[in-house]
């Protein structure tokens, strides 16, 4: 039996509501799936942790994360985080534990009104450096203000980060449709994007069975909107991937349907793409699907890493359960045009999972 300790961290805003749905799924899985034992480990982070412990990321949480096989993180209201006692939890964990690949799928769902009905792409985004000032320096921030009206932003691109990201993308493509698209801006950012592109192309020689093409990011955004079904796995840098993954979510019905996984060699953290939506927090209508599908990604990662078919198959079944629920108009949350509560959506998915 596969036994896994899973850290569960609520986050801010709607985080406690959508992560409660994940806990409900974990309980249902433990009750009905004898081949798996998923042990939730609740850990404090975010604004609630700051209120009680004086920091958004307690040392006890960091220590406990070391003992877990996978992590689940709710959305964060990072624009309220100020000062050394309020670090961006997601950024710290991504860099500290080298969760270098941010894997963000966008797949069309039956029953969801969207621009397209047959999208199935995955953005594999570099996660530990780039223009993001909270993870591109050994100490301090990669943004500088030498004068009141001037800001300098530093982007860090290393061959090591590009290579491991590319390998993650090519390995994923082999499990899908064997097509990788490299997205960059090497015609202008010749050194940084040039290093990224050259490194990815070098890695591609180890995967002769995978088709490879590349686009400048501005042109690719247009092509992705006009012909998304022509693409499979999109490998790109941190900032470009952040933008393109939200664009991809827009093609399938919105961020409420956009899961994400932060993966490294040793650990992975499930984290939906969407934010904490403080304006609807506490109303009971938040869409839990992105967090639930992020759990499905984590199960697939655990199954692949540990050669555990029960975990891999459960991840696939969870996707199928969500598709089954969305295929009808019976249960949809307000962002999807319905009136269902977070709890009602979760219960419907649990029921559909048990029927698979």
> What are the catalytic residues?
132, 185, 218, 242, 246
The answer for 11, left when phi > 0, alpha when psi is -120 to 50, beta otherwise, is left
Q: What is the 3-state secondary structure (H, E, C) of the chain?
A: CEEEEEEEECCCCCHHHHHHHHHHHHHHHHHHCCCEEEEEEECCCHHHHHHHHCCCCCHHHHHHHCCCCEEEECCCCHHHCCCCCCCCHHHHHHHHCCCCEEEEEEECCCCCCCCCCCCEEEEEEECCCECCCCCCCCCCCCEEEEECCEEEECCECCHHHHHHHHHHHHHHHHCCCCEEEEEECCCCCCCHHHHHHHHHHHHHCCCCCCEEEEEEHHHHHHHHHHCHHHCCEEEECHHHHHHHHHHHHHHHCCHHHCCCEEECCCCEEECCCCCCCCCCCCCCCCCCHHHHHHHHHHHHHHHHHCCCHHHHHHHHHHHHHHHHHHCCCCCCCHHHCCCCCHHHHHHHHHHHHHHC
Rounded to 5 degrees, φ, ψ at 144 are -130, 145
Distances (CA, A) of 102 to 94, 163, 165, 316: 9, 14, 9, 19
């Amino acid at each position: 039996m596969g036994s896994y300790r899973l850290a569960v961290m609520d986050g801010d805003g709607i985080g406690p509501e959508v992560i409660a749905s994940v806990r409900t799924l974990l309980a249902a899985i433990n009750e009905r799936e004898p081949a798996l034992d998923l042990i939730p480990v609740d850990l404090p982070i975010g604004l609630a942790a700051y209120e009680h412990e004086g920091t958004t990321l307690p040392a006890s949480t960091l220590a406990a994360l070391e003992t877990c096989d996978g992590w689940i993180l709710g959305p964060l209201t990072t624009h309220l985080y100020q000062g050394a006692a309020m670090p961006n939890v997601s950024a710290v964990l991504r860099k500290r534990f080298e969760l270098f690949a941010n894997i963000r799928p966008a797949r069309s769902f039956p029953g969801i009104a969207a621009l397209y009905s047959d999208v199935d792409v995955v953005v594999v985004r570099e996660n530990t450096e780039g223009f993001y000032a909270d993870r591109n320096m050994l100490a301090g921030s990669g943004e500088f203000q030498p004068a009141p009206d001037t800001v300098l932003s530093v982007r860090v691109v290393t061959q090591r980060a590009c290579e491991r990201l590319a390998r993650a993308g090519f390995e994923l493509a082999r499990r899908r449709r064997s097509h990788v698209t490299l997205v960059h801006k090497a015609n202008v950012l010749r050194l940084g994007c040039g290093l990224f592109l050259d490194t990815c192309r070098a890695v591609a020689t180890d995967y002769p069975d995978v088709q490879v093409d590349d686009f400048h990011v501005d042109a690719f955004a247009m092509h992705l909107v006009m012909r998304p079904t022509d693409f499979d796995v999109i490998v790109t840098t941190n900032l470009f991937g952040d933008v393109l993954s939200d664009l991809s979510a827009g093609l399938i019905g919105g961020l409420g349907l956009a899961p994400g996984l932060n993966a490294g060699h040793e650990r992975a953290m499930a984290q939906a793409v969407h934010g904490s939506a403080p304006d609807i927090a506490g109303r009971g209508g938040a869409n839990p699907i992105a967090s639930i599908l992020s759990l499905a990604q984590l199960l697939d990662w655990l199954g692949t890493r540990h050669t555990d078919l029960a975990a891999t198959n459960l991840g696939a079944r969870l996707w199928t359960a969500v598709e089954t629920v969305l295929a009808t108009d019976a249960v949809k949350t307000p962002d999807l045009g319905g009136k269902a509560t977070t709890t009602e959506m979760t219960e419907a998915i649990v029921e559909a999972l048990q029927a698979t």
